[in-house]
Amino acid sequence: MTTMIPSAAPTTAAPAHWHETHVLALPERAARTVPLHTLPSSAAVQRYLRVTHPGGIYTHQADAAACAAQFEDFAVTTGTASGKTLCFHLAALEALGALPETKVVVLYPQKALGAEQEGRWRDMLQAAGLDARVGRIDGSVPVSQRVQILDTCRVVILTPDVMHAWLLGNLSLKSVRSFIRATRLVIIDEVHTFTGVFGSNAAFLFRRFEHALKTMTRKRLQYVCASATIQDAATHLTQLTGRTFTLIGPDRDGSPRHPVHLHFLRPADPARDLLSSAAGLLRDLGAAGERFICFSDSRKQTENLASILARKGDSGRDEADPGDASNDDHPLDHSPLASLRVLPYRSGYEARDRAEIQARLARGDVDGIVSTSALELGMDIPHLDAVVLLGVPASSTSFHQQIGRVGRRRAGRVLILDTGSASDALLFDDPGQVLTRPLADGALYLENQNIQCIHAACLARAGGEHDAVMTALGRDTDADLQTPVAWPEGFLDLIERERSGTLPAPLHALRAQGGDRPNLAFPLRDVETSYRVELRQGNSPQDLGTLSYGQVMREAYPGAVYLHATRAYRVTRINPLSRTVHVRPEKHFSTRPTCLPTLAFPNFDAGSVHQAARHALLCAVDCDLMISENVIGFEERRGPNTFHSAYPLDPHQTGIYYQQPRFSRNMYTTGIVLHHPDLQGDVPRGHLADLILDAFRLTVPFESRDIGVTTDKLRVERPGLPKGDQVIVIYDQTYGSLRLSSRLLGDGVLARVLETAVTLARHDLSAVPVDEDLHLVRGTLQRLAREAAQAAQTPAWAAAAPPPTDAERVRVLLPGTTGICLLHDHREMRVTQVYYSPRAGLQYKGRLCTDNVWETHLTVVPVGGVQAIPGVSALGWYDLDLGEIMEE
């Protein structure tokens, strides 16, 4: 358990323009070691340790050695920089020494981490005297070289992404099958990152790998995992792999630790721009010879801060405005990173950029780096003196990972900057909280039907992974799929429906997106297909990384200035069919989207309400809903000037090809609808919603990108919920939902969240002096919190059972109503006819909406390809016997 020691005085002077409010000290810790002769390891492992660790190994490493000698599934969950890599090496040496044909798979969640660890694996095998090669396969390794790596290497480093998209997608290749058949050990590092969409997808990926292996051979597969920060590791690991692990936890950590001081800093001038103040602090650190890493909470903020520092370095001027147009364009064949003393880092960079950043970090050839949470992981960054945090991360897991970057080789310090948010203000008043907040849960939702559908298609489709193995073994591919793997509930039924062509109608569109190559169509880190950013200049497009649909809405909408490796690019076109974003070089202007309020369409029908609770007048409903996000233009800053551009855009004047009045994303998910009479007046609902979301993050740790919040009105009516009333909606931002928002209705959680929101409101300095609206917000939150603490009742309408299914009737949209066409990029479709085709089944005929105008030609779509807009679409029943539509 971490010990906190308040420090009477700062260890160094506070940086210029910042006021130091507190200093906390994390004490140093002496090493605890175990002599080598007491270990039950094999002779080969003992020889290796005598060469590399003659004085003994740490207590947790000794525990790992004992587990490795017994070929147990084990996980090491000790602190950052505690020497978990040696635990991996010991398990691999035991496995490789057991049988000469054994292969070991090592999975790192990021390419950069795998590339950094590759050399360590080579050094380990050489020191152990093993004649075995190490190979690495990630997205940057040409396909032509991959088979040779599998054939010749006994230790192969992979990303989960390439295991999913390439390895299991090529089971028809003999080399791939032979490699999997010979695998006896799978090592998974940083398992706390396997959460949310990525973790849920990975859980099915690991089971698909094991299915392929066990279909070919009955030999046992061993798992070894590690993570520095995770809550309830046992449950998370079992969900992730289907196995039970021996845990080696923090209480067994025998590694030493150097002292680290945490400095809490508030800006001396609160009116000064945060990025300007932070840039000045980072420049001072670099000038003093202190190497640093600065963690930012978003990709855009990371690029903006790095751009400010880059322009200072290039011109020698104090350039604090990210909207300045004075930055000259660099030649496109010249790396923008080469001349930078402070490097940016985030997900989505191409291999060449990551390789250059990694090489310069390893050499210490930088003053510092500005990064998103992408560098929280175990990639070793030598020579670091300081960590700078732009605000306190909402996730305690992220906080401990970030501060763990220093104190590895010598004493270090962490500078925590107050961003002015209410949550920062709360923690600055009681800094000790940052060390005692609970770690994030490993949030996996394995019953998500969209995720299950993706993996059922990969595994069980005609010609898919199972059929490829069965064909190679000379077995019947038409036989029922038999599997020795324990799958999440509902998945085996979905496999049968995939193989029989009877998938549920809501999954038809998703299945169609995957086609015959679902391994390539669906990335592990999203449920929707990704967008690729392409620089359209010269003979061939230049890749500038990938973005999720949600990131496109925030960073790369039509006309946006998109930042990549400190360079600016203008988004000129978005192609939803090819999922590409086209850009051109641009000056360092800055843009932000002009958005309509996010719309929420709750579905209160029986079967779509998961739970509901009424506390006095406060009602909370967990239900299915549709979210509609709409960008209608953008605001652009050019130095001191601001310009507004509205869609549609004139391509002749702007070079931007977007002729629609809105850039939209319609998403089906789940969320919590909060209703109360006090929300119907003039209270600032948006401010209330933001405070409740912040309080939710502090009470139930989750990644900020996973949960969103909005305010809207009810379009349906239920007892106690009048149509037209205003509500707050907290929702999952993952298409199809991971059911994370449902935790708000856990035992006592809503009351704790609202109490925390009350406390945040007291620290909210957004209106100084405190105005009438802020008083209204605080009073409303206090009333909501008092009522949430009262006993809950379930409304009778929410407990109603869904209507029984009827094989002769199908629920349909009525002609004349509008729904969302999943097969045409989630555009609106107005249904003109519902009819039955003997060949194609039940169909809609209707018109799609383009440029806010209904197309003149008719489109035919299967009924499963159009979903209702809750509270808007008129629904009825199609009687298959009579061929007639009946209204409800």
pLDDT-derived band at 575 (thresholds 50, 70, 90) equals confident
DSSP 331: P
pLDDT tens for 370-395 read 988 777 765 667 678 899 999 888 77
Q: How far apart are CA 178 and CA 167, in angstroms?
A: 12
Q: What confidence tier does 833 reach under pLDDT thresholds 50, 70, 90?
A: very high
Confidence at residue 241, expressed as pLDDT on a 0 to 100 scale: 96
Question: Is the per-residue pLDDT at 68 higher than 60?
Answer: yes
Which has more pLDDT, 2 or 112? 112
- When mean pLDDT is compared over 309-323, 349-363, 678-692, the highest value belongs to 678-692
Question: Looking at residue 197, what is its pLDDT?
Answer: 85
Q: Rg (Cα) of the chain, in Å, rounded? A: 28
pTM beyond cutoff 0.95:
no
Pairing of strands 103-107, 155-158: parallel
Q: In the beta sheet, which residues pair with residue 847?
A: 830
What confidence tens digit (pLDDT) does each residue in 233-265 have?
899 999 999 999 999 999 999 999 889 999 999
User: Mean per-residue pLDDT for 633-638?
Assistant: 92
> Residue 586: is its pLDDT beyond 50?
yes
Model confidence band, residue 11 (pLDDT cutoffs 50, 70, 90): very low
User: CA geometry: angle at 212 spanning 210 and 218, to 5°?
Assistant: 70
- The 3-class SS string of 277-325 reads HHHHHHHHHHHCCCCEEEECCCHHHHHHHHHHHHHHHHHCCCCCCCCCC
The whole-angstrom separation of Cα 66 and Cα 72 is 9
- Residues 401, 230 contacting (CB under 8 angstroms): no
pLDDT band at 294 (very low <50, low <70, confident <90, very high): very high
pLDDT at residue 179 in the model? 97
Average pLDDT, the chain: 87
Beta bridge partners of 229: none
pLDDT class of 333 with cuts at 50, 70, 90: very low
Q: pLDDT by residue (tens digit) across 740-773?
A: 899 899 889 999 999 999 999 888 765 545 566 7
The two most distant CA atoms of the chain are separated, in Å, by: 84
State the pLDDT at residue 558: 95
Does 35 have pLDDT greater than 80?
yes
Report which of residues 425 and 728 the model is more confident about. Answer: 728
**Could you give all domains of the chain from N- to C-terminal order, each with its CATH number?**
5-27+257-322+339-435 (3.40.50.300), 33-252 (3.40.50.300), 531-588 (no CATH), 604-626+665-799 (no CATH), 809-887 (2.30.30)
Q: Is pLDDT larger for residue 301 or for residue 325?
A: 301
Q: Which of 151-155, 208-212, 775-779, 850-854 has the lowest mean pLDDT?
A: 850-854
Is the predicted pLDDT of residue 399 greater than 60, yes or no? yes
Q: Give the ranges where 700-845 is alpha helix by DSSP (H).
A: 749-762, 772-788
Report percent pLDDT > 70 for the chain: 91
Determine how β-strand 222-226 pairs with β-strand 74-76. parallel
Which one, of 116, 113, 67, 99, lies nearest residue 225 by Cα?
Answer: 67
pLDDT band at 324 (very low <50, low <70, confident <90, very high): very low
pLDDT of residue 319: 37
CA distances from 473 to 183, 220, 549 (A): 18, 19, 40
Q: How far is CA 446 from CA 196, 204, 494, 499, 532, in A?
A: 10, 8, 13, 20, 28
Q: Considering only residues 579 and 552, tell me which one the structure prediction assigns the higher pLDDT.
A: 552
What are the pLDDT digits (tens) for 429-486? 888 888 887 776 667 888 888 899 999 999 999 999 999 999 999 999 999 899 999 9
Question: Does residue 623 contact residue 797 with C-beta atoms inside 8 Å?
Answer: no
- Cα(222)–Cα(477) distance, integer angstroms: 28
**Residue 325: what pLDDT?**
35
Position 348 scores a pLDDT of: 65
When pLDDT is averaged across residues 866-875 and rounded to a whole number, the result is 90
- Please tell me whether residue 422 adopts helix, strand or coil conformation: helix
Strands (E), 418-549: 531-535, 542-547
Average pLDDT, stretch 537-560?
A: 86
Q: How much is the pLDDT for 6?
A: 45
Do the bridges between strand 260-267 and strand 18-26 make them parallel or antiparallel, or are there none, so unpaired? antiparallel
Check residue 545 and give its pLDDT.
80
| Closest to 662 (Cα-Cα) out of 495, 826, 851 | 851
**pLDDT over 90 (residue 528):** no
pLDDT band at 315 (very low <50, low <70, confident <90, very high): very low
The answer to whether 711 touches 728, Cβ cutoff 8 Å, is yes
Contact 598, 707 (CB under 8 A): no
Q: Where do we find the tokens 């390891």?
A: 41
Chain position carrying tokens 């299991």? 168
447 closest CA partner among 209, 610, 602, 606: 610
Answer yes or no: is pLDDT of 624 > 60.
yes
In the structure encoding, which two tokens stand for residue 769, read together? 């002096």
**Amino acid found at 739:** R
How far is 302 from 306, CA to CA, in rounded Å?
6
The C-alpha angle with vertex 88 and arms to 83 and 93, in degrees rounded to 5, equals 125
The per-residue pLDDT for range 804-825, each reduced to its tens digit, is: 767 788 889 999 999 998 878 7
pLDDT per residue as tens digits for the range 145-202: 999 999 999 999 999 999 999 999 999 999 999 999 999 999 999 898 898 888 999 9
